[in-house]
Structure formats: C-alpha cells, structure tokens
Amino acid sequence: MATLARPRRNRNPIAVEDRIAGWVFILPSLAIFVTFLFGPVLFAGYVSFFERDTLNTVNRFVGLDNYRQILRDDDFYLALRNTVWYSAGVVPAQTILGLFLAVLANRKIRGKTFFRTAFYFPSISSSIVIAVIFLWMYSGNGLINYVLESIGLPTPRPVWLANPKGIIEMGLEQFGVENVSDWLEGPSVALLSIMMLNIWTTMGTMMVIFLAGLQDVPGDVYEAAALDGASRWRMFRDITMPLIRPVTLFVVTLGIIGTFQVFDQIWLMSEGGPAKKTTTLAYLIYSEGFNFGGGLGYASALAMILFAIIFVLFLVQRRLNTDETR
C-alpha cells in the first residue's frame, strides 16, 4: 500500500545513529500500539476460544463452540441483516449526496469556506449529542412528525424509533403481498430513522473529501473537452468520474467501515429494539459481552466475525479498484 522513499544509505555518522535513534523515536508510539492494538487483536482471537463472563468468574477453553453457537443463533442473522441493510442504505446515499454537493460547491461560488464549515460541523460533533437531538426530533410530538403533519403527509405508527415494521414489507403489503421472508422485509422504520441520522451526519464529510478530489482535477482537461463540444453530463461521466475514482473508493471504504461499526446512536436511541430490529453486529457484540449476554468469549468470537467481514469487503474493493485501473 505505502512504500516509503528510502533515504540514501551512506556511511556518515547520522546514518549509523539513525539505526538506533529511529527506534528511540518510534518507541512511545510502538509501546501504545503493541499494548492496546496489536496485542488486543491477537488476544481477541484467543479469548474467542473461551467461555468467559464479564466479571471473569468463569474462564474455560471451549474451542470453536462460540463460533458454532453464533452460526446457530437467530440473533446473529438478524444483526447481520440489520447491518447489511444499514450499510446498503447509508453508504450509497452519503456517497451520492456528498458527490452531488461537492460538484455544486466546486463551481465558482462565494462562501465556499462557509459551506464547507457548515456541512462539516455535524461530523465533528459528539455522536451522543446528535443522537439526543434526533431522539427529540423523532419523538411522537417532535419536529419531524410536526413537519410531516403540517404538509399533510402521514406519520408512521408506532412512532419512528418504536416501529419494527420493515419498509419493503410495508411497500409490498400495499400490493397485497403478505408474509415476506426475513431478508425481504427491508430495514425497519426504526433502523431507517437511525440511517437517516447517519446520512445527515456524514454526507458533509463525504462532500469535503470529494471537493478536495475535484479541486485536483486540472481545469484544462475540461477546456479541451468543451472545445470538442462535449456536453456537461458527458464531461462529468467521462472525465470527472474516472479521475476521482480513487476518491470515490476511499469514500466508500470509509463508509463501509463506519457503517459496520455504528454503535453510539443505537445505544442511546433504541437500545437495539424494538424487537431487536436495530440490533447491528456492533451492538450485538456490546450486548453479548457487557450487557448480560453470552460473555466476553462469545462476544470476542462475534467481533472476529465482524472483523473478517470488514476485511473481506476491504479486499473485494481493493481488487475491484486494481482491476479497473489496470
């Protein structure tokens, strides 16, 4: 991924000194990384083979039992579905909206810095603060219902965050299709509420990243294309999109990693409910490990599975990237 420029190796005293000094300089960081990141990743794998409760009163080697149990557990598949719907909804939405806003802001407009600041602000704010504000907005007599009622639109019943009904299921019921399979229900209204919060929070971040990418595209490319009579849409599709492809992949990677880890908002807004319809994998790890669930060993096994999923998605994406740029 990253190759470092190799300083010329010579026999001067500083090069000799650096062989030791280099290690001295990285030592503080290395100590933290080994103790709190590299070590824990290995240790998480190790703990996943144990039955171990939060208070450490039980600690027993069980081999692959935790993994077997997870693969038999309906809650795991429910959490996986919720996480996949979450990611599949949020990542494209924030990417497309972010790109759209960046294209607009990349024009010759005044106040570019203002817009960048405004769009950015939610992503630097505390997730808990935002969750509390949205909890208020989503409440029965809250802002969102008020706005919808004012313009004559229906509001969901039960209220947003208490509504376990799948949105695709609701759509299909309009056409008389009943009892759809679990995977076809779609995200619940409650999960959708949190997804919308997430899109609101991160769309500005994505916009700022795209904007930086767009500003790197040299202007003369467009001038040449304009002379050839290319339409704006063609310029966007055939020049801008290919040139900012690495940025798009970066945004999508960030989005996938972020959405697979969403936790704070769910802890505060829905605690995984109603009917576990907002229990994502990250929340399941928390509730199994720390909230009277299967204990730390079981939760570690879940965490390893989450890690593996993110890693595979990352590899698939890298593969797609290198294939297309070759």
Partner 1 sequence: MFVAVVSREIARPTVATTPGRTTGLDLALQIVAYVVLIVVALLMFIPFFFSLTTSIKTAPEASQVNTLTNLLWPDDPTLAAYREVFAADIGRWFFNSAFVAAIWVVGRAVADSMAGYAFARMQFPGRNLIFLMVLSTLMIPAMVTIIPKFILLERLNLLDTYGALTIPFLSSAFGIFLMKQFFESIPVELEEAARVDGASRYRMFVQIVLPNAMPALTALSIFSFQASWNAFLEPLLFITSPELRTLPLGLAYFQEAFNFNWPVSMAIAVITTLPMAIVFLIFQRYFVEGQTTSGIKG
CB of 23 to partner 1, least distance (A): 6
Binds partner 1 (CB under 8 A): choice among 64, 104, 184, 312: 104
Task: Give least dist CB 126 to partner 1, A.
Answer: 4
User: Considering only residues 83-102, where is the footprint of partner 1 by CB under 8 A?
Assistant: 101
Cβ 184 to partner 1 shortest distance, Å = 28
Q: How far apart are CA 245 and CA 247, in angstroms?
A: 5
Among 148, 184, 226, 312, binds partner 1 (CB under 8 A): 226
- 61 makes contact with partner 1 (CB under 8 A): no
Q: Please tell me the distance from the alpha carbon of residue 115 to that of residue 211, in angstroms, as a whole number.
A: 11
The residues in 139-168 that bind partner 1, with binding defined as CB under 8 A, are 139, 141-143, 145-146
Q: Which is nearer to partner 1, 37 or 153 (CB)?
A: 37
- Which stretch, 81-89, 156-164, 173-181, 211-219, contacts partner 1 (CB under 8 A)? 211-219
Nearer to partner 1, 176 or 218 (CB): 218
Query: Nearest distance from residue 286's CB to partner 1, in Å?
Result: 7
CB nearer to partner 1: give 180 or 214: 214
Residue 296 makes contact with partner 1 by CB under 8 A: yes
Query: Which of these, 167, 164, 180, 171, lies nearest to 272 by C-alpha position?
Result: 164
Using CB under 8 A as the binding rule, whether residue 195 contacts partner 1 is answered as no
Q: How far is the CB of 186 from partner 1 (least distance, A)?
A: 25
The verdict on 229 binding partner 1 (CB under 8 A) reads no
Residue placing its CB nearer to partner 1 in the complex, 147 or 177: 147
| Contact flag: residue 181 with partner 1 (CB under 8 A) | no
Q: Is 204 a binder of partner 1 (CB under 8 A)?
A: yes
Task: Work out whether 51 is an interface residue with partner 1 (CB under 8 A).
Answer: no
Does residue 304 bind partner 1 (CB under 8 A)?
A: yes
Among 68, 290, 292, 319, binds partner 1 (CB under 8 A): 290
Is residue 317 involved in binding partner 1 (CB under 8 A)? no
SS (H, E, C) the chain: CCCCCCCCCCCCHHHHHHHHHHHHHHHHHHHHHHHHHHHHHHHHHHHCCEEECCCCCCEEECCCHHHHHHHHCHHHHHHHHHHHHHHHHHHHHHHHHHHHHHHHHCCCCCCHHHHHHHHHHHHHCCHHHHHHHHHHHHCCCCHHHHHHHHCCCCCCCCCHHHCCCEHHHHHHHHCCCCCCCHHHCCCEHHHHHHHHHHHHHHHHHHHHHHHHHHHCCCHHHHHHHHHCCCCHHHHHHHHHHHHCHHHHHHHHHHHHHHHCCCCHHHHHHCCCCCCCCCCCHHHHHHHHHHCCCCHHHHHHHHHHHHHHHHHHHHHHHHHHHHHHHC
Residue choice 9, 11, 72, 326 for contact with partner 1 (CB under 8 A): 9
What residues between 262 and 281 interact with partner 1 by CB under 8 A? 263-264, 267-268, 281
Q: Give the Cα-Cα-Cα angle 85, 90, 92 (nearest 5 degrees).
A: 105
Should residue 209 be labelled a site residue for partner 1 when binding is judged by CB under 8 A? Answer: yes
Contact 280, 85 (CB under 8 A): no
